[in-house]
């Protein structure tokens, strides 16, 4: 399964959640509202330029998966919390085998990091 089938762009910001085009929770923003809106615009291809100087990267500590940003002072700023594992693997969701669910989520995370760093 392609990650776009599970996490369907474009994304939108709704209070404490980032939703996909089918109104499913796919991420929790960990930044201010205005910064979150910039991140979403970048993910949706509405911003071509690189976001502020620094690097986005993912950190997986068991579960959940965080996307962090390191600025020029080398501070690690939590940016996004990737969601959707229950839907990918759960019986009430897509019920994917663990290996496939991991691949779908990892592909999505890699796309987020690559897009935000470009």
Residue ranges per structural domain of the chain: 3-117
Helices (H), the chain: 3-6, 33-43, 85-89, 98-117
Relative to beta strand 25-29, strand 76-82 is antiparallel
Is 62's pLDDT higher than 60? Answer: no
Q: Is the peptide bond before 118 cis (omega within 30 degrees of 0)?
A: no
pTM summary value: 0.89
Is 114's pLDDT higher than 80? Answer: yes
pLDDT digits (tens, 9 = 90+) for 16-38: 999 999 999 999 999 888 889 99
Token look-up 């100087």 returns 53
Is 10's pLDDT higher than 90? Answer: yes
The Cα–Cα gap between 101 and 73 comes to 35
Which of left, alpha, beta for 16 (phi over 0: left; psi -120 to 50: alpha)? alpha
> How high does pLDDT run on average in the chain?
88
pLDDT at 66: 84
pLDDT at 34: 85
């Amino acid at each position: 399964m392609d990650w776009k089938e599970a996490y369907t762009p474009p994304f939108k910001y709704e209070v404490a959640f980032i939703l996909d085009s089918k109104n499913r929770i796919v991420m929790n923003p960990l930044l201010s509202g205005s910064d979150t809106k910039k991140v979403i615009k970048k993910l949706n291809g509405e911003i071509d330029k690189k976001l502020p100087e620094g690097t986005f990267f993912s950190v997986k500590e068991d579960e959940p998966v965080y996307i962090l940003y390191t600025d020029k002072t080398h501070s690690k700023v939590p940016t996004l919390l990737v969601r959707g594992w229950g839907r990918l693997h759960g019986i009430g969701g897509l019920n994917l085998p663990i290996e496939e669910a991991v691949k779908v989520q990892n592909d999505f995370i890699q796309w987020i990091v690559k897009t935000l760093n470009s």
